[in-house]
């Protein structure tokens, strides 16, 4: 009995699924029928509009012809009337002149001849312009062979061909990618009639792009998905707000009209080089915590019993005093952690439990440093640093990973170069390398740009907001260098995967021409 009920339930479930499938199928057919009716109505409406346009053109031209013909007819009727009047007057004068010739009396003949002479002078025939009237309507001549051929070639709207991407006009500039394309018939057809047949109407363009790690021709399949930008009416588009975390960008375009979307253009590949890195949580000081691309100062309140850390700084202030201790107090606290500290950091997910010991052993004391996840050994790179709320001091620079000691602060030795900013007690900005410091006459920037040309030995720092060069180091790197950052209080956001801004090269050239804008440091080998 139970087995039969189970079998019946399975049958009911199968029938229910089939019923839902049939409902969906019927709904689809109804929608298809509605679409068919709509498309047919649209086509009929298009032909009605074409017919109405032709009828309107016919009525307009016929009206002009009728008006011109009426004007010509009135002019001809007037000339005819004037001609008949002149002819009648001429006949009368001619008869009178012949009769006058038969007069024998001299006085009477003279009187009659004088009267005829006066009447001839005033005769309409001598005031009438006898030049033939131009009754042609040449200015209204028509020649509809072109229009006739167009109507004879009238056909249904064709699908647009694939556009052609103008590779030489495409560019990567200031973290934006500009793409330019054209339709193949814009310049490829020479004859006017040929072009009329080849140019289908285009309403919109659709641009698709995807990041790729493969150079050369775009692959049919890639690990990244295409992203689409639609509704474009011009044959160019600038892609903004891109994160350049892949070395290449594939691009393709297709055109669309009321009929359908056409085929995609042949994909092109543009090179988008940029330095991409994250913060290495296994290399940071115990008072620093890494959350993605943000490093946060943590005064370890778990051991001190103070208020919990907050990058914004608002929750860390009690009665007007900050909960952030001085660097020396914080360093001594981090060197003598309580027993629960290590598991509590691991439990947050910021540091893997296996890397807590590595983090403790990497930096200590007042070296509140965190390193990037990559080492650079050639080429150029650019990244930016953004101080967030309640930052007391921060540094950005480069270091040799292997020779940077556990207690070494950035810029204190020959293995690192740094630009340090302090906003504690008073604002200051200093350039540091090999135990040499130079105080800079500039305020700490709200956004700091860092540019590296490893091969040329250039390390430049910029105020991004004002596009101003702050300081430059020039040296000769002998080992791979790692982007490095220090923080005391608040938080820093590190932004990588950026193209080198266009103003950097200009300011870099200025710095080379005017060495007083930067410091030259020779690396001690």
Cα angle for residues 353, 355, 358 (degrees, 5° grid): 140
29, part of any domain: no
Q: Residue length, the chain? A: 525
pTM (2 decimals)?
0.61
- In terms of residue numbers, what domain contains 125? 50-129
List Cβ neighbours of 188 (8 Å cut-off, separation of 6 or more): 198
The phi and psi torsions of 61 (rounded to 5 degrees) equal -65, -40
Whether pLDDT at 231 is above 50: yes
The pLDDT of residue 42 is 82
Residue whose C-alpha is closest to residue 420's, from 404, 408, 432, 434: 432
2, part of any domain: no
Of 288 and 316, the structure prediction assigns the larger pLDDT to: 288
Whether residues 338 and 454 share a domain: the answer is: yes
Q: Are 229 and 207 in contact (CB under 8 A)?
A: yes
> Where do the DSSP E strands lie in 204-287?
204-212, 227-232, 236-239, 248-256, 268-271
Over its C-alpha atoms, the chain yields an Rg (Å, rounded) of: 46
CATH number at residue 211: 2.60.40.10
List Cβ neighbours of 368 (8 Å cut-off, separation of 6 or more): 285, 287, 288, 297, 327, 330, 331, 486, 487, 488
- Residue ending a domain, among 271, 290, 320, is 271
Whether residues 351 and 203 share a domain: the answer is: no
> Tens of pLDDT along 79-103?
889 888 888 888 888 888 888 888 8
The pLDDT of residue 236 is 96
Q: Are 444 and 491 in contact (CB under 8 A)?
A: no
The pLDDT of residue 287 is 92
36, part of any domain: no
> Tens of pLDDT along 480-499?
999 999 999 999 999 999 99
- Residue ending a domain, among 129, 152, 186, is 129
Whether residues 390 and 463 share a domain: the answer is: yes
The pLDDT of residue 239 is 96
209, part of any domain: yes
In angstroms, the CA 481 to CA 277 distance is 13
* Pairing assessment for the beta strands 481-488 and 369-371 based on DSSP bridges: antiparallel
> Tens of pLDDT along 390-434?
899 999 999 998 888 889 999 999 999 999 999 888 899 999 999
> Tens of pLDDT along 149-179?
888 877 777 888 999 999 999 999 999 999 9
Whether residues 421 and 289 share a domain: the answer is: yes
138, part of any domain: no
Q: Are 174 and 501 in contact (CB under 8 A)?
A: yes
Number of domains composing the chain: 3
Whether residues 267 and 289 share a domain: the answer is: no
140, part of any domain: no
Q: In which band, very low, low, confident or very high, does the pLDDT at 107 lie, cut at 50, 70 and 90?
A: confident
Supply the angle between the helices 2-100 and 106-121 in degrees, to the nearest 10: 160
Whether residues 265 and 293 share a domain: the answer is: no
> Tens of pLDDT along 311-345?
333 333 333 334 444 444 444 333 333 322 222 22
> Where do the DSSP E strands lie in 268-375?
268-271, 288-291, 294-297, 317-318, 321-322, 369-371
Of 240 and 197, the structure prediction assigns the larger pLDDT to: 240
* Pairing assessment for the beta strands 171-173 and 176-182 based on DSSP bridges: antiparallel
The pLDDT of residue 374 is 94
In angstroms, the CA 500 to CA 511 distance is 17
> Tens of pLDDT along 123-153?
887 777 777 777 777 677 778 888 888 888 7
The phi and psi torsions of 448 (rounded to 5 degrees) equal -105, 125
In angstroms, the CA 42 to CA 259 distance is 12
Of 181 and 343, the structure prediction assigns the larger pLDDT to: 181
Whether residues 506 and 410 share a domain: the answer is: yes
CATH number at residue 315: 2.60.120.920
Whether residues 458 and 405 share a domain: the answer is: yes
The pLDDT of residue 269 is 94
> Tens of pLDDT along 437-467?
999 998 999 999 999 999 999 999 999 999 9
Whether residues 265 and 290 share a domain: the answer is: no
Residue whose C-alpha is closest to residue 287's, from 369, 202, 176: 369
Whether pLDDT at 68 is above 50: yes
Whether residues 206 and 104 share a domain: the answer is: no
- Residue ending a domain, among 271, 294, 310, is 271
Residue whose C-alpha is closest to residue 522's, from 438, 436, 453, 450: 436
Cα angle for residues 500, 504, 507 (degrees, 5° grid): 170
In angstroms, the CA 155 to CA 522 distance is 76
150, part of any domain: no
358, part of any domain: yes
Whether residues 322 and 451 share a domain: the answer is: yes
Whether residues 436 and 372 share a domain: the answer is: yes
In angstroms, the CA 431 to CA 418 distance is 6
């Amino acid at each position: 009995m139970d087995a039969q009920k189970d079998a019946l339930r399975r049958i009911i479930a199968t029938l229910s699924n089939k019923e839902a499938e049939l409902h969906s199928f019927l709904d689809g057919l109804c929608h298809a029928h509605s679409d068919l009716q709509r498309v047919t109505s649209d086509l009929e409406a298009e032909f009605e509009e074409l017919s109405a346009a032709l009828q309107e053109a016919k009525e307009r031209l016929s009206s002009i012809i009728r008006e011109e013909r009426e004007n010509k007819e009135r002019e001809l009727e007037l000339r005819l009337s004037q001609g008949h009047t002149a002819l009648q007057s001429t006949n009368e004068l001619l008869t009178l002149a012949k009769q006058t010739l038969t007069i024998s009396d001299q006085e009477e003949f003279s009187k009659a001849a004088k009267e005829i002479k006066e009447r001839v002078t005033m005769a309409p025939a001598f005031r009438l312009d006898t030049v033939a009237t131009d009754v042609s309507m040449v200015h209204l001549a028509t020649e509809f062979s072109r229009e006739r051929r167009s109507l004879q070639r009238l056909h249904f709207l064709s699908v647009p061909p694939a556009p052609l991407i103008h590779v030489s006009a495409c560019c990567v500039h200031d973290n934006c990618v500009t793409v330019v394309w054209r339709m193949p018939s814009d310049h490829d057809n020479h004859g006017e009639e040929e072009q009329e047949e080849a140019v289908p109407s285009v309403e919109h363009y659709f641009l698709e792009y995807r990041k790729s790690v493969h150079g050369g021709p775009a692959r049919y399949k890639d690990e990244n998905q295409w992203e689409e930008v639609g509704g474009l009416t011009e044959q160019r588009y600038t892609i903004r707000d891109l994160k350049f975390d892949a070395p290449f960008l594939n691009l393709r375009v297709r055109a669309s009209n009321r009929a359908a979307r056409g085929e995609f253009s042949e994909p092109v590949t543009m090179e988008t080089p940029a330095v991409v890195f994250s913060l290495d949580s296994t290399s940071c000081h115990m008072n620093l915590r890494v959350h993605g691309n943000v490093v946060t100062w943590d005064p370890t309140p778990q051991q001190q019993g103070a208020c919990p850390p907050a990058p914004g700084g608002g929750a860390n202030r009690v009665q007007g005093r900050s909960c952030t201790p001085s660097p020396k107090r914080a360093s001594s606290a981090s060197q003598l952690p309580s027993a629960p500290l290590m598991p509590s950091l691991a439990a947050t997910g910021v540091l893997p439990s296996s890397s807590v010991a590595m983090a403790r052993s990497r930096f200590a004391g007042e070296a509140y440093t965190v390193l990037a996840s990559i080492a650079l050994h050639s080429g150029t790179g650019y990244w930016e640093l953004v101080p967030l709320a309640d930052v007391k001091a921060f540094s950005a620079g480069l270091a040799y990973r292997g020779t940077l000691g556990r207690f070494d602060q950035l810029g204190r030795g020959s293995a690192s170069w740094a630009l340090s900013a302090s906003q504690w007690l008073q604002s200051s900005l200093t350039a540091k390398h090999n135990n040499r410091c130079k105080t800079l006459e500039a305020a700490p920037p709200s956004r700091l740009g860092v540019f590296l040309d490893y091969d040329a030995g250039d390390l430049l720092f910029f105020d991004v907001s004002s596009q101003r060069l702050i300081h430059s180091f020039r040296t000769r790197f002998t080992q791979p260098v790692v982007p490095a950052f220090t923080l005391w209080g608040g938080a820093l956001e590190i932004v990588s995967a950026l193209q080198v801004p266009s103003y950097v090269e200009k300011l870099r050239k200025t710095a080379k021409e005017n060495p007083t804008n930067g410091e030259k440091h020779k690396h001690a080998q």
